[in-house]
Amino acid sequence: MRTKVNKKKKLSLSLETISEGTSVERELEIYALLDDLSVLTQADAVEQQEQFSIVPVIGEGHKGSTRVRKTINKDGTTFIHTTKVRQTDGSNLETEEETTEDMFNAYKALANDGLIKDRFFFPVKGHDLLWEVDVFPQDNGEYAQWVKIDLEIPEGVVLKELPELPFPYKEKIVKSNDPEVKKRIGKLYKDFFSFKKGN
């Protein structure tokens, strides 16, 4: 069974704005193996997400991606079109705009796979920030024990050390350029996170 959570208003993070709708995304990405998923009931808010991405590969390879995400929360349903362009410092130049259900369905038709997930929001202890914890339902109706955790870091905010995660975990993987780390994360997407069209 999926865990139900009282829904509260999501805090907004102020990232450096380049132009209207465009900002620099600085994000910490963590993967954690949870033993007890009941900790999700302690979240401040939750929303359902479904997204489909297209990753253009030209010349030297991956330079970014474009996606459309459908989000359902207490405020209703939205469709957001996002492009991310990788910068030399490892950040992403991110542009977002509202779009339509028709555009969402077009991406869904074109993409090879997608993500269906529930996102839980937890406050970061000692900071005015939010952990975004993505949990992925499996074919058996239960959540996968592995979760994806994002922390968007606003421009000008410096974290001297990794904040404490909001719940206990059995294992943690912090995203990096290490080939073994990339391999492990890729396997998580293949085994638990991504779903192939038609599944």
For the chain, give every domain's residue range.
19-196
Domain at 19-196: CATH code: 2.40.320
Q: What's the whole-model pTM score?
A: 0.82
Q: Six-digit token pair at 71?
A: 């989000």
- Intra-chain end-to-end CA distance of the chain, in Å: 20
Ranges in the chain, pLDDT < 50 = 1, 3-19
Q: Which residues pair with 80 in a beta bridge?
A: 69, 98
Q: Which residues pair with 55 in a beta bridge?
A: none
What's the pLDDT at 159? 79
